[in-house]
Chains A and B, each alone.
Chain A
Amino acid sequence: ETGVTQSPTHLIKTRGQQVTLRCSSQSGHNTVSWYQQALGQGPQFIFQYYREEENGRGNFPPRFSGLQFPNYSSELNVNALELDDSALYLCASSWDRVESEQFFGPGTRLTVL
């Protein structure tokens, strides 16, 4: 157990809908990163939040957006869902050290029909 929690565990949506995924960081961590993992692939970086500000973004369209709250928990919002958005969404929390391992939550499995 890493202390990072995500909700919901599974989610089924239809094309065009919007979804919000939630992540609670490990205590003391001030950075949250979100990753998308398609079946059979490695995780792909979506964006990172550090002290409530976006601190880097991967190659994802603007319909992927996020928030980080004062308690360092975070949300990932995806608008206008597409079939290819079906994936496991992972959040990871970390501390802003020179080298930092990331502590991953169990993920949210999103299926878009």
Chain B
Amino acid sequence: SQQGEEDPQALSIQEGENATMNCSYKTSINNLQWYRQNSGRGLVHLILIRSNEREKHSGRLRVTLDTSKKSSSLLITASRAADTASYFCATQRSGNTPLVFGKGTRLSVIA
């Protein structure tokens, strides 16, 4: 079963705009991770945020985590056509345990 739910399911923006995706989950977690998937291929790890962290940055990515609301958001700033992909949040209950994925947000960045 899915742990998380991403919102929106699909998002279409112009190049240069910011894209925000949200993720909600149900149970307590050790960490939350965001992955990107291009065209139904393998997933690429983007960023990991621990349960005791509130915000994390990596390049053009900014992730927030609110454990009281069991939610996270991923912000991609100054989007590019190459950012077009599906984005998944995944939770991990403790170290080296399976990831529990949401259904993903499909992002389209139009040049």
| Interface positions of A (Cβ within 8 A of B) | 2, 4, 31, 33, 35, 37, 39-45, 48, 50, 56, 58-59, 88, 90, 92, 94-107, 109
| Interface positions of B (Cβ within 8 A of A) | 1-2, 4, 30-31, 33, 35, 40-45, 48, 50, 88, 90, 92, 94-104
11 new A-B contacts, CB < 8 A, other than A59-B1, A99-B30, are: A2-B44, A35-B99, A41-B103, A42-B2, A42-B90, A45-B100, A48-B97, A90-B42, A100-B96, A101-B48, A107-B41
Known contacts A42-B101, A44-B101; is-contact A101 B33 (Cβ 8 Å): yes
B95 with A96: CB separation less than 8 A: yes
B42 with A105: CB separation less than 8 A: yes
User: Using Cβ atoms and an 8 Å threshold, which residues of chain A touch B95?
Assistant: 96-100
Best-surrounded residue of B1, B2, B41, B102 (most CB of chain A within 10 A): B41
Partner of B42 from the list A59, A95, A97, A107 (CB cut-off 8 Å) is: A107
Known contacts A99-B50, A104-B43; is-contact A45 B96 (Cβ 8 Å): no
Partner of B98 from the list A40, A45, A95, A105 (CB cut-off 8 Å) is: A45
Partner of A103 from the list B4, B45, B94, B101 (CB cut-off 8 Å) is: B45
A97 with B103: CB separation less than 8 A: no
Name the residue on B nearest A48 (C-beta): B98
User: Using Cβ atoms and an 8 Å threshold, which residues of chain A touch B35?
Assistant: 104
A31 with B96: CB separation less than 8 A: yes
Whole-angstrom CA separation of A50 from B101 in the bound complex: 20
User: Using Cβ atoms and an 8 Å threshold, which residues of chain B touch A2?
Assistant: 42, 44
